[in-house]
Structure 1
Amino acid sequence: MSFHEVRFPAALSFGSVGGPERRTEVVTLANGFEERNTPWAHSRRRYDAGVGLRSLDDVEALIAFFEARQGQLHGFRWKDWGDYKSCLPSAEVTPFDQALGTGTPDRKTEFQLTKRYASGDQRYDRPILKPVSGTVRIAIEQIELQESIDFDIDLASGLITFAEPPEEGADITAGFEFDVPVRFDIDRIQTSVASFRAGEVPNVPIVEVRV
């Protein structure tokens, strides 16, 4: 899949609507009970970029970005203002926000960035594939490490590679900001100067992609 490592203008995504969706298959049995199953291990996010547009200049910026991506052809980065940090939106990123795992007997050096969503005894670990440059912080046993010296980060996949394998059983934690890999979910954008000034905005669906 073709993907451009460029972010949709954050000023335009601010105010957009959207969030995660799941796919659940529900079968109602003859006795009224249900059987529920899902073919998706991970959720998929959808947004509407049109809601964030506030001026005709914003419309022009959207069209330029749309044309550069050739509609649905190329994926791109999207800042989800409601969920773009390893911590709470009101907090500052620290290297202790998320657990990445522990050192292994086979001296594993590569670990995937993840973010955990928990409620009660249930949890979901979301792979983070598009971390933001300059925001990734890593610690082992509560000691923060230095990027490019102690570890490297692949910004296109969210994979952490340590210069030296962590000691067996050592706790590895991370903090970061991240984008969502998405594409336009439409090959046509329709705008009207008159209707936009009257408060109407174009419908610009955005959908998360697997990378």
Structure 2
Amino acid sequence: MAFHDVRFPANLSFGSTGGPERRTEVVQLTNGYEERNTPWAQSRRRYDAGLSLRSLDDIAALIAFFEARRGQMYGFRWKDWADFKSCQPSAMPAYRDQDIAIADGMTRDFALSKRYGTGVQSYLRPITKPVEGTVLVGISTDEQVLGVDFEVDLASGIISFSEAPDAGEIITAGFEFDVPVRFDTDMIQTSVASFQAGEVPAVPVVEIRQ
């Protein structure tokens, strides 16, 4: 998939609107009941970066980034200021934030994930774009050392241990992460007069699956 491993300027994404999107198919039955189904196993995020633009310099930075991505052609990283940590927004990531797997004694590679809710009805979100320097990993109660005990692939969110953890050990992780996205338009319309009058361009951004 065409992807540029660069982040949309964080100062421009701050103030944007957006969040998770689901697709639910609802069928109304003749007896008044309804059936609901979804073709999506994973949610998808959408954002509008236009609301975060505060100056003509911001518009210039947006256009430069848009042109470098060739519009919708290349994906990029996006910081979702409402949801970018393995922990609560007010806390700092810790290696015991998320239980990501139970070791089988043979597997060395594990995918980062974030759980929403609790129990059997919780949702497990794959994390494919962790932020460099933020990934902390533990095996049960022992924190591991990056570069010695494990490595992390920042392009896929896969952590690889130097040796397979013992069977039954709980693999945990804490991290910050970005969302892989692309522009959802091939055109950005701007007007200096309109912007100075308080109007901002629509800049739709949509999550891509990786």
Question: Where on the TM-score scale, by shorter chain, does this alignment land: which range?
Answer: over 0.9
1:74-153 aligned at under 5 Å gives the runs: 74-105=74-105, 107-118=106-117, 122-153=121-152
Gaps of 5+ in 1: none
CA distance in 1, matches of 2:124, 2:14: 25
The letter of the residue matching 1:138 is V
Q: Which moved more, 1:116-125 or 1:54-63?
A: 116-125
1:35 Cα deviation from its structure 2 partner? 0.6
1:42 corresponds in structure 2 to 42
Q: Does 1:53 align with 2:56?
A: no
CA distance in 2, matches of 1:111, 1:53: 38
- TM-score, length of structure 2 as denominator length: 0.98
- TM-score, length of structure 1 as denominator length: 0.98
2:154 corresponds in structure 1 to 155
1:122 Cα deviation from its structure 2 partner? 1.9
1:209 Cα deviation from its structure 2 partner? 0.4
Instruction: Report Cα offsets for 1:150-206 as digits up to 9, x if no partner.
Output: 001010000011001011101110000000000000000011111111111100000
- Count of residue pairs brought into register by the alignment: 210
The letter of the residue matching 1:92 is M
CA distance in 1, matches of 2:126, 2:50: 27
> Percent identity over the alignment?
66
Q: Which moved more, 1:121-130 or 1:4-13?
A: 121-130
1:131 Cα deviation from its structure 2 partner? 0.2
Greater than 3 Å deviation, 4+ residue runs: none
Q: Does 1:6 align with 2:6?
A: yes
CA distance in 1, matches of 2:120, 2:130: 27
1:102 Cα deviation from its structure 2 partner? 1.4
Instruction: Report Cα offsets for 1:64-114 as digits up to 9, x if no partner.
Output: 000000000000000000000000011011001000111104x11111000
State the secondary structure of the residue aligned to 1:90. Answer: coil
CA distance in 1, matches of 2:165, 2:119: 31
Gaps of 5+ in 2: none
CA distance in 2, matches of 1:78, 1:108: 31
CA distance in 2, matches of 1:207, 1:13: 13
CA distance in 2, matches of 1:209, 1:122: 24
CA distance in 2, matches of 1:38, 1:137: 34
State the secondary structure of the residue aligned to 1:96. Answer: coil
RMSD: 0.9
Q: Which moved more, 1:96-105 or 1:59-68?
A: 96-105
1:121 Cα deviation from its structure 2 partner? 5.4
CA distance in 2, matches of 1:81, 1:41: 24
State the secondary structure of the residue aligned to 2:122. Answer: strand
CA distance in 2, matches of 1:8, 1:187: 16
1:197 corresponds in structure 2 to 196
